Each structure stands twice: as C-alpha cells, then as structure tokens.
Chain A
C-alpha cells in the first residue's frame, strides 16, 4: 500500500495535520501566528546548514527552528515591539537561509521543494519521521494540556495553581520546532504557518470547548489534505498550496455559516 506515492503523500499530510491541529489552536489562542512564521522561515537556514555539513535535514531544521523559537521567547516581554521584532527575525532568517543555500554550489538543491514542500516525493523514511514527530507533538501537548490552557488564560492564575507559564511556553516552543521540521517536506517553510492557523481558525465557529476545537481542527486539516491532494492530482496544481487552498475555503465556509446562523 505504501508503494503508491499518492498514499504516502496523503499519510504524510494527515500526520502533519494531526500535529498542527492542537498546536495551531494554541498559536491562535495565544496570538502567536507571527511566531510560527518566524520559526518556520528560519528552517530554510537549517536546510542550508544541514546540506553544508551533510547532516539530516530533519536535525538541521529542528535545531535552527528551536534556536529561533527560543530566541523569540527570550526576547518577548522585554520591552521590544513584538511584531517588529518578529518581522525582523522571520524575514532575515529566510533571507540568510536563501543566501546560505546559494553558497552550496557543489550540491544541486531544488529550493522550491523546501519553500513549497515536495509532498509527492515523500519516502517511507520521511513518513516514519513525520509520524514519529507528529506523535511526539500530540503526546507533548496532550500531557501538558490543562496546564497549557491555564497558562494561556492567565499567567497569574497559572502561578496560583502551581504552574510555571514559562515552562509551558517552552513546551509550545519545542512542539513548534518539531512541527516545523516535520512539515517542511509536506507544505514547505512558506506555508507551515498556514497549516497551523487555518484549520484551527476554521474550527473556531464550530466549537464550544478547547478540546472540541482541537479535534475539529484535526478533522478540517485531514480533509483539506485528502481533498487538496486529490485536486492537485486532477488539476495538476502544486500539492502543498492546493492543500492550503482547501483549508482556506473551509475557513471561509465555517465563518460564513456561523455569521449566517448568528444573523438568523
């Protein structure tokens, strides 16, 4: 069954969608969208470093993503204007990454594969890494779920319940770095943030509880993957962007339905 490249691609996409769903909810609730972007864009630098030192791409991207995420976490709340800081970091990481890749003249790299993903070329090994990483992210967030929610609601409330909000932030940071590293093959660095935010945002109008929203985001992400890949196959469009397009359409429809329901 895994011999079919389309099945491998679908399974890879679903793996990413499942990890991105609970994490994406926190990204939405904590207004970390730009934070996700910065971490994802930094990953291209990780790709360059991994190729230069002939490490695995996964190790390279996760390291750089983690360093970027920790830097942003450390700088936050120190009086910098956060959106400016993230804007500087996100785009300079991307630019430095692109420049670094250009130095690697000895190696032929398909840059587009890292920017937009190359889901149709997912191997069995990639699949193992993606599902392993996704399982780790889901386990990490599931383990800290209540503490993460409490810290998201109010930091002082968390302190009073014996929860350290900085530690919970670190958990999310780690989960984000892992997700970026496993999603790079599927949607590429430019669209990782989309896989985090759009299914979660589309799930919001349909949910009454945080758990419901995370589950619904997983369903929407999975459906977007399956339908997007099918559409890419039929219409001969790029696979990663097609998945994101379907997710975006689902966001539009759930938002419309909920505003119609509210008006009625």
Chain B
C-alpha cells in the first residue's frame, strides 16, 4: 500500500486551472523529486497532499495513520514574534529535550536550541525546519524547494542530509526542486510536472525524455550534459504559464 495515492487530481484557483488529472503514488522509503518550470503547479500539488488546498476534482488518498513532515518553501518569522529554536520544535506537541537534540543532530545542526530563530543563517534555518519535520517521526517527508536561498554547496549538503535521514529512518521523501543536477542523483524517481505529469521515471529516463528537455532545454547544469541530444518534438503549455506557484 502506498503512503500517498493521488488520483486524477485537479486543482484550480478561481477560473484558473493549475493542475489537471495528476496521478501519482509515493511508496514507503522512496525519494521522489518533482521538477517543473515556474507556475507548473508543483507547490499546489504539495499543498493538496498536505490538505491545504481542496481538489477541484479527483482526490488525495493518504494511508491510514500516515505521519507527514512538511518543510515549507520559506518561512518568514515576523520580528515581533520571539521564538527560540527549542520552543519552535516543541510547537508540534509534547517533545522532550533529548528528542530536540536528536532532531537537531539528525538535521545536521549543532545545539542551537537556545538561539532565536530570527538570528539563524539561511542554511541553519532550513535545517531547523527539517528538524521540526523530523521530530514527529514522519513516514513521509515533504520538502518544497527547501534549499532556496542556499548556495550550491549548501544545498548539496542539505540534500545529502536528506539522503542520510532516509537511510537512518526509512521515511519516504517527496521534494520539489529547481536544482535538478543536485537532486537527481539522490532521487529514486523523478516526476516532471507542467500542469499535468509530463513524464516520470528514474532520473536518467526523465533527463533524456523529450518532454523534459522541451521544458528545461538541454543545458540545465553540468550533470545533464550526459543526456544532451536534439529535441524530437515540441511541447506547448501556454495555458499553464501564469498559474500560481
């Protein structure tokens, strides 16, 4: 049984359709990456899975009692809200000090539990968000462009951490990323999204798929150079280009 099963999902905001007939399933322990251009509905898909947007049609089926850990794209902490890292991690319920330390270590952080959230660097902040997602011992970890604003080395380290977490805890990971060359090596499966599922498969299969290259071109990052060859057909997605992220 899959952890999450998305059936023919449609999502629209007002008259604008962002996702149409998207189906996918996430199985235990696998790392799935969603790639797609801006406005392709990646974030909407993730939000539908966590229940933040209602499907216009189709449905999202979660396995009985599945625990989800969500790492948002970015989180703006208002200056007026004082919040230590420890307090933030305790928000999700009853959490003990050793559990906090374990989650921080697992997320690759030193003991910053007494620091104010607003004083952390971008990389540390993302890791605190990861620690928060991990503290509930999730079966499925959802990451929405979790490395936005990190430099390449920082995001590579972050994704290594995710792989490590999967190895240690066995949780499945569904993540959105722009940094294909960084993410692809860590992914078991890649789903290329542009309002609908364009193509999916192993990273190598997707990277060489014509639909994928129609969206991203052939020059996306050094790692993809291996798969570079000429397009054999063109793909038009004009209806979706203005859709909300």
Contacts and interface: CB of A to CB of B under 8 A. Distances in A.
B47 A159 contact: yes
Contacts of A96: none
A204 B82 contact: yes
A150 interface: yes
B75 A208 contact: no
Interface in B52-83: 52, 68-70, 72, 75, 77-78, 80-83
Main secondary structure of the interface of A (DSSP, over half): helix
Contacts of A210: 81-83, 87
B80 A209 contact: no
B91 A207 contact: no
Given A154-B75, A209-B82, A160 B87 contact: no
A157 B70 contact: yes
A215 B80 CA distance: 15
A253 interface: no
Interface string B23-60: 00000000000000000000000010011100000000
A200 B50 CA distance: 33
B26 to A, nearest CB: 15
Count chain B CB atoms within 10 A of each CB in A149, A153, A154 and give the residue with the most. A153
B91 A150 contact: yes
Contacts of B77: 153
Contacts of A162: 51
Interface in A18-46: 28-29, 31
B87 A146 contact: no
Interface residues of B, number: 23
Chain A interface size, under 10 / 10 to 19 / 20 to 34 / 35 or more: 20 to 34
A22 B68 CA distance: 30
A29 B79 CA distance: 8
Nearest to B94: A146
B20 interface: no
A228 B186 CA distance: 63
B169 interface: no
Nearest to B79: A204
Nearest to A31: B78
Contacts of B72: 154, 156-157
A146 B91 contact: yes
Interface string A204-242: 100111111100000000000000000000000000000
B200 to A, nearest CB: 24
Given A153-B75, A159-B47, A213 B91 contact: no
The 5 closest A-B pairs by CB, nearest first: A160-B70, A159-B52, A160-B50, A207-B82, A29-B81
Given A153-B81, A159-B52, A213-B82, 20 more contacts: A28-B80, A146-B93, A150-B91, A153-B83, A153-B88, A153-B91, A154-B75, A156-B52, A157-B70, A159-B51, A159-B70, A160-B50, A160-B68, A161-B70, A207-B82, A208-B84, A208-B116, A209-B83, A210-B83, A212-B82
21 contacts: A29-B80, A150-B91, A150-B92, A152-B81, A153-B77, A153-B81, A153-B88, A154-B75, A156-B52, A156-B70, A157-B70, A159-B50, A159-B52, A160-B70, A160-B142, A161-B70, A161-B92, A207-B82, A208-B82, A210-B83, A213-B82
